[in-house]
Amino acid sequence: MSTDASTATSIAYSLAPMLSVRNGARAVEFYTSAFGAVEVFKIEAPDGAVVARLAIEGAEFWVADESPEHQNFSPESLGGGTARMVLIVPDPDAVFAQAISAGAREVIPVKEDYGWRLGRVVDPFGHHWEIGHPMPVSPDRPNQLTSAGLTT
């Protein structure tokens, strides 16, 4: 934790991804429907562009319309994403089904693999979401997660 000298308040470190999309308003609607996200903060420009801070059960992320002039491109413009979102939830099967119902496309079905119950979807904006949770470790089920990633 550090202190901001200009305001004398304590600021904790955090990290929140910002997803660039082609239609920010539609993306906010999708994430609300698919994952139960709530709007924490939202700015709408006169041209309809959106920057929004969203939270899923307290886990925050940002969504913004792409702005090529600032080197912010969506997966749709790039032909794919460069990162995956990992959403850890108590019931991956239910959240996965909710995302599919809201318009996501299945990439990998929910299954037990690498010590996780996990599946992957791609949202309508090209971002991949791995939805799951680690399985309890036991002698017959060691945690096989490696630094190579959750799924391949």
What ranges do the domains of the chain cover?
10-68, 80-152
Q: Give pLDDT, residue 140.
A: 66
**pLDDT confidence of residue 108:** 98
pLDDT tens, position by position, 9-40 = 888 999 999 999 999 999 999 999 999 999 99
Query: Strand order of the sheet with strand 59-65?
Result: 18-21, 59-65, 50-56, 38-44
What is the model's pLDDT at position 3? 55
Residue that wins the pLDDT comparison between 78 and 150: 78
115-149 burial, b at 16+ Cβ within 10 Å, e below that, comes to bbbbbbbbbbbbbbbbbbeebeeeeeeeeeeeeee
Q: d(Cα 65, Cα 57) in Å, to the nearest integer?
A: 23
Same fold, 10-68 and 80-152: yes
Give the tens place of pLDDT for each residue, 89-133: 999 999 999 999 999 999 999 999 989 999 999 999 999 999 999
Fold that domain 10-68 belongs to in CATH = 3.30.720
* pTM of the complete model: 0.84
- The CATH architecture assigned to 80-152 reads 2-Layer Sandwich (3.30)
Residue type at position 138: S
| Cα maximum dimension of the chain | 59
